[in-house]
């Protein structure tokens, strides 16, 4: 054959090869692009997987043990439940009340005495102490002053133990007004009692003494834990704490804080917890301050340098701090779940050698999470950084290898494949932004129509409101790209792979950036990416990568793991956060938080899977279905009762208000204002609008924002730091008939003395009033409040705590008057003029109020859980 003939033959051969390759790609596309309803079925499969696996495991509880099992040295839920029933029967346990200071303390002491009678005295020593303490500290922006709060403290020690290293286990028995406090935190108190009973009657040895603290003033806030850790004789020996609390009732308890800076602790939880439930992501979210909660754990760490665990009930937070926090909400399985975990954890830590020198084992933070409650994963944050960078790097490398392979098997230039890959990477950046942004836009739009919290009583609406828009945003850019820019040079299967690679690179870049920022929750991205890297490596090694859609089989199998985990994780946040949004206040749209977390969960759960919809014919039909589901849900929220957030007992609207009688005294003693009304602090975004069509008469309700500019602390008896923080959104409903309070606090001026320097005057007072009182102090512009009998460091730090100063005072079992002084400096020494405003707020938490107030309270709808009491406010000028 001549050269000319050979060239013609080679050209024809190349043309035939190219034609054959193109035809093969087209044939594959025709053969493997299944009907559109397979795409809908594909999404339905993953939805059913979530319903059939994630939900049952999330709500799974162990079988409760009965007293027939009590000889086995295990936690007995039936016995704990009987104790809890007795505690619940006492009712509300507000600090200062007979129920809290007398009845509950006596009940718990009786239970402890029964346990003491059963202790194996040949193995253990048991000591019981009732601490009555007074003190003060700064909590947020107020000076938290307490008097006569009570703690029941039990120390269980190995016989003849000389150890000076103790383990502390803490929970609280007091409650918020109206709440029987069965979940928060009676559940945990009875768990502690049963753990004490089991350990003290078992022969299983332990090394370190265990201090069980039942504190009587956590809700007040956090006063009894401060009293213990700063004043109790055993406090200095405590090195590690297990703090037990609640933001819900009747489910599994979650580990949401550990350490800090002691990653070894998590290993003990991992090895001990029979029913693990916890995540680093929850810890980091809590520590941002986004959630309207606080616990004793921070007190123990701040004032005692204790490390340990913060564990809380978190499911069904709708009953939290309401009158519906009752015994019937808590199944015995929930007690068994908590008891199994805490008993094993206490036993393990009581033998931990690390307690002997906790500082020596400080080793940074830990990354931890459970997988569907089946097992627990933990590793140090430093190892987490290596893993994050390693997985991200591996993903990027394997993507480049895949691009090279696509070019090789498609007989096209590598540069062309890289160019297509970059274009599809750009579409995936857009998709990521849209997947996150569209749900947030929906949340913003609903709020503009006054429809925040539409999902509150029906969390399933989150699917239509936020999940479906996120899925549309994730998939639409690539589908539009495929429609507009067809590519006959590579198989459509490879074309889809390029989009998945783009999503992987986006996650890798995000993982690298967040790791560099120091976010430990990046583990979620890393473990999502791992289950793309592994199937990609397998497909490349086995050449399934090159065989049409064969690579999708391996990918889908591996995607089951991140789908289940991410679905489980973000479902946890929806379950935990949704009730919290009902007490997030009116100033912020809480749906922005829920929508963002839901979108992030959708992206991580379905980011790779939703792109596979393009394997099927007419993927636009799937988008129409998603858009239709979203539109239908939004329509239901806008125009039907489906979107009404509240339901009686189960999903209540929280309404806090005070029955206020206020009097303003001028410098000469005359009264310039004397009126009455109801001061509302609405707990959620909808505020009073949800009550407009009810029987409650809110005619004349106005904002107090204008008064906040004229009067110290808005001229009303703001209750605590949360009321002070949200005072600009507080509302006033005037009442013509004066409100009758049970009594009024009295502020008696004992003396007014000009000191020797001639520039300072000292005032001494005696305060008598109810068990919850606040004093507000506002010096005039030319006057300095220089000294007082309260915590001086609070007064000296006016940068952090500017006036007006807030002294929140409460007492428990000790009811003696409060004597205090303060000193004022003035440069000209003229003290016969107005120097300081003093506001005196008295709160009568144990009273329902006068007859008209009771009638007003009874007019609220059944879906409103009201918390209200009489309060007085007197403004003096000295």
Spatial distance between the Cα atoms of 175 and 100, rounded to a whole number of angstroms: 8
> Pick from 769, 785, 787: which is nearest to 777 by CA?
785
Check pLDDT > 50 for residue 13: no
Q: Choose the weakest-confidence range: 104-108, 357-361, 664-668.
A: 357-361
Alpha-carbon torsion 823, 825, 831, 834, what sign? negative
> Pick from 479, 477, 707: which is nearest to 615 by CA?
479
Spatial distance between the Cα atoms of 342 and 355, rounded to a whole number of angstroms: 17
- Tell me what the mean pLDDT of segment 655-671 comes to: 97
- Tell me what the mean pLDDT of segment 492-504 comes to: 96
- Tell me what the mean pLDDT of segment 113-123 comes to: 97
Check pLDDT > 60 for residue 594: yes
Check pLDDT > 90 for residue 292: no
Q: DSSP for 114-145, please give it.
A: HHHHHS-TTTEEEEEEEEEEEEEEEETTEEEE
> Pick from 418, 567, 617, 619: which is nearest to 502 by CA?
418
Check pLDDT > 50 for residue 731: yes
To the question of pTM greater than 0.85 for the whole model, the response is yes
**Residue given tokens 């392979």 in the structure block:** 405
pLDDT digits (tens, 9 = 90+) for 819-833: 999 999 999 999 999
**Residue given tokens 């994630």 in the structure block:** 54
Residue 625's Cβ-count burial label (10 Å; 0-12, 13-18, 19+) is middle
Contact call for residues 197 and 115 (beta carbons, < 8 A): yes
pLDDT digits (tens, 9 = 90+) for 808-821: 999 999 999 999 99
450 CB-near residues (< 8 Å, 6+ apart): 686, 689
Residue 526's Cβ-count burial label (10 Å; 0-12, 13-18, 19+) is buried
**Confidence band for 20, pLDDT divided at 50, 70 and 90:** very low
Spatial distance between the Cα atoms of 238 and 211, rounded to a whole number of angstroms: 8
- In degrees and rounded to multiples of 5, residue 683 shows phi and psi of -90, -20
First to last CA, the chain: 118
Spatial distance between the Cα atoms of 801 and 778, rounded to a whole number of angstroms: 12
pLDDT computed for residue 70 by the predictor: 84
pLDDT computed for residue 31 by the predictor: 43
Using alpha carbons only, give the angle 729, 590, 52 rounded to the nearest 5 degrees. Answer: 150
How many other CB atoms are found less than 10 A from the CB of residue 30? 10
Check pLDDT > 70 for residue 749: yes
pLDDT digits (tens, 9 = 90+) for 185-233: 999 999 999 999 999 999 999 999 999 999 999 999 999 999 999 999 9
Check pLDDT > 60 for residue 364: yes
Spatial distance between the Cα atoms of 70 and 49, rounded to a whole number of angstroms: 39
| Torsion, Cα of 513, 516, 517, 520 (10° steps) | 100
pLDDT computed for residue 28 by the predictor: 44
Residues linked to residue 353 through DSSP beta bridges, in sequence order? none
Tell me the two tokens of residue 728. 């600009």
pLDDT digits (tens, 9 = 90+) for 154-196: 999 999 888 899 999 999 999 999 999 999 999 999 999 999 9
Across all residues in the chain, what is the average pLDDT? Answer: 94
Using alpha carbons only, give the angle 261, 597, 683 rounded to the nearest 5 degrees. Answer: 90
- 831-834, long-range: CB < 8 A, 24+ apart: 831/752, 831/754, 831/761, 833/667, 834/667, 834/780, 834/877, 834/878
Helix count and strand count (H, E) for the chain: 25, 21
How many other CB atoms are found less than 10 A from the CB of residue 560? 14
Tell me the two tokens of residue 285. 């979210």
**Confidence band for 487, pLDDT divided at 50, 70 and 90:** confident
Contact call for residues 346 and 169 (beta carbons, < 8 A): yes
pLDDT digits (tens, 9 = 90+) for 389-434: 999 999 999 999 999 999 999 999 999 999 999 999 999 999 999 9
- Tell me what the mean pLDDT of segment 426-443 comes to: 98
Residue ranges of the chain that CATH labels 3.40.630.10:
74-376
Contact call for residues 55 and 460 (beta carbons, < 8 A): no
pLDDT digits (tens, 9 = 90+) for 234-268: 999 999 999 999 999 999 999 999 999 999 999 99
pLDDT computed for residue 33 by the predictor: 64
Q: 74-376 sits in which CATH class? A: alpha beta
pLDDT computed for residue 509 by the predictor: 98
**Residue given tokens 């102090």 in the structure block:** 777
218 CB-near residues (< 8 Å, 6+ apart): 172, 174, 185, 224, 225, 245, 295, 296
pLDDT computed for residue 14 by the predictor: 37
How many other CB atoms are found less than 10 A from the CB of residue 793? 11
Contact call for residues 702 and 755 (beta carbons, < 8 A): no
Using alpha carbons only, give the angle 233, 238, 244 rounded to the nearest 5 degrees. Answer: 110
Check pLDDT > 80 for residue 345: yes
- Tell me what the mean pLDDT of segment 326-331 comes to: 97
Spatial distance between the Cα atoms of 141 and 721, rounded to a whole number of angstroms: 6
pLDDT computed for residue 72 by the predictor: 86
Check pLDDT > 50 for residue 10: no
> Largest Cα–Cα distance in the chain?
124
CA distances from 452 to 141, 389, 578, 588 (A): 29, 39, 12, 10
């Amino acid at each position: 054959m001549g050269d000319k003939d050979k060239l013609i033959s080679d050209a024809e051969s190349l043309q035939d090869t190219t034609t054959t390759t193109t035809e093969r790609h087209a044939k594959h596309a025709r053969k493997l692009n299944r009907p559109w309803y397979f795409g809908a079925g594909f999404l339905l499969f993953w939805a059913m997987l979530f319903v059939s696996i994630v939900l049952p495991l999330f709500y799974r509880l162990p079988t409760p043990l009965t007293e027939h099992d009590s000889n086995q040295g295990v936690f007995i839920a039936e016995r704990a439940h009987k104790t809890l029933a007795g505690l619940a029967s006492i009712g509300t346990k507000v600090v200062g009340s007979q129920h809290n200071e007398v009845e509950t303390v006596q009940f718990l002491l009786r239970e402890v005495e029964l346990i003491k009678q059963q202790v194996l005295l040949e193995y253990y020593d048991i000591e019981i102490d009732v601490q009555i303490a007074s003190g003060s500290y700064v909590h947020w922006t107020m000076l938290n002053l307490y008097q006569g709060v009570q703690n029941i403290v039990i120390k269980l020690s190995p016989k003849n133990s000389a150890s000076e290293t103790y383990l502390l286990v803490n929970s609280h028995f007091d409650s918020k007004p109206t709440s029987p406090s069965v979940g928060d935190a009676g559940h945990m108190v009875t768990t502690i009692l049963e753990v004490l009973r089991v350990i003290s009657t078992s022969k299983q040895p332990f090394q370190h003494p265990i201090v069980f603290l039942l504190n009587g003033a956590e809700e007040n806030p956090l006063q009894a834990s401060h009293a213990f850790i700063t004043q109790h004789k055993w406090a200095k020996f405590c090195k590690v704490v297990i703090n037990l609390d609640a933001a819900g009732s009747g489910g599994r308890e979650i580990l949401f804080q550990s350490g800090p800076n002691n990653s070894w602790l998590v290993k003990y939880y991992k090895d001990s917890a029979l029913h693990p439930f916890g995540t680093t992501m929850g810890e980091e979210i809590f520590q941002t301050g986004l959630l309207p909660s606080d616990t004793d754990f921070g007190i123990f760490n701040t004032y005692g340098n204790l490390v340990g665990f913060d564990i809380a009930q978190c499911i069904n937070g709708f009953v939290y701090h309401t009158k519906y926090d009752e015994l019937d909400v808590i199944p015995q399985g929930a007690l068994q779940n908590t008891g199994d975990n805490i008993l094993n954890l206490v036993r393990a830590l009581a033998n931990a050698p690390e307690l002997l020198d906790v500082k020596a084992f400080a080793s940074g933070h830990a990354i931890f999470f459970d997988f569907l409650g089946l097992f627990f994963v933990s590793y140090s944050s430093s190892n987490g950084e290596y893993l994050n960078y390693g997985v991200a790097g591996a993903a990027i490398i394997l993507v480049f290898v895949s691009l090279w392979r696509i070019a090789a098997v498609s007989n096209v230039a590598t540069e062309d494949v890289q160019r297509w890959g970059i274009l599809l990477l750009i579409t995936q950046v857009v998709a990521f932004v849209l997947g996150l942004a569209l749900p947030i836009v929906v949340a913003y739009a609903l709020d503009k129509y006054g429809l925040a919290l539409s999902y509150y009583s029906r969390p399933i609406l989150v699917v239509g409101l936020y999940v479906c828009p996120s899925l549309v945003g994730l998939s639409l850019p690539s589908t539009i790209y495929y429609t507009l820019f067809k590519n006959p040079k590579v198989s459509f299967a490879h074309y889809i792979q390029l989009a998945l690679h783009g999503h992987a690179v986006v996650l890798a870049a995000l993982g690298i950036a967040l790791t560099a920022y120091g976010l430990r929750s990046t583990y979620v991205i890393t473990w999502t990416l791992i289950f793309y890297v592994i199937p990609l490596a397998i497909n490349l090694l086995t050449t399934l990568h090159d065989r049409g859609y064969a690579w999708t089989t391996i990918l889908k199998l591996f995607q089951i793991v991140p789908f289940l985990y991410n679905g489980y994780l973000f479902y946890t946040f929806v379950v935990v956060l949704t009730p919290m949004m009902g007490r997030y206040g009116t100033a912020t749209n809480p749906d922005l938080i829920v929508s963002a977390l839901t979108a992030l969960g959708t992206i991580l759960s379905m980011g790779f899977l939703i792109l596979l919809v393009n394997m099927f014919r007419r993927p636009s039909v799937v988008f129409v279905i998603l858009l239709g589901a979203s539109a239908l849900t939004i329509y239901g929220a806008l125009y039907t009762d489906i979107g009404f957030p509240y339901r009686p007992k189960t999903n209540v609207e929280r309404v806090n208000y005070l029955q206020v009688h206020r009097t303003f005294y001028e410098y000469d003693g005359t009264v310039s204002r004397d009126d009455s009304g109801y001061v509302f602090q609405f707990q959620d975004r909808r505020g009073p609008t949800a009550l407009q069509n009810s029987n409650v008469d809110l005619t004349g309700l106005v904002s107090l924002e204008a008064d906040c500019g004229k009067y110290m602390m808005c001229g009303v008896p703001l209750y605590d730091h949360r009321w002070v923080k949200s005072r600009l959104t507080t509302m006033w409903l005037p009442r013509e008939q004066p409100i009758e309070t049970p009594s009024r606090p009295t502020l008696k001026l004992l003396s007014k003395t000009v000191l020797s320097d001639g520039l300072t005057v000292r005032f001494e007072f005696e305060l008598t009033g109810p068990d919850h009182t606040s004093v507000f102090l506002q010096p005039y512009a030319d006057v300095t409040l220089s000294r007082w009998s309260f915590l001086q460091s609070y007064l000296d730090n006016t940068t952090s705590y500017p006036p007006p100063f807030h002294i929140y005072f409460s007492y428990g079992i000790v009811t003696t008057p409060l004597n205090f002084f303060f000193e004022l400096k003035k440069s000209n020494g003229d003290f016969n003029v107005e120097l300081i405003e003093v506001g005196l707020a008295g709160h009568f938490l144990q009273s329902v109020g006068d007859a008209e107030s009771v009638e007003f309270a009874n007019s609220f709808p059944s879906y409103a859980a009201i918390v209200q009491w009489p309060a007085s406010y007197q403004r003096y000028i000295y």
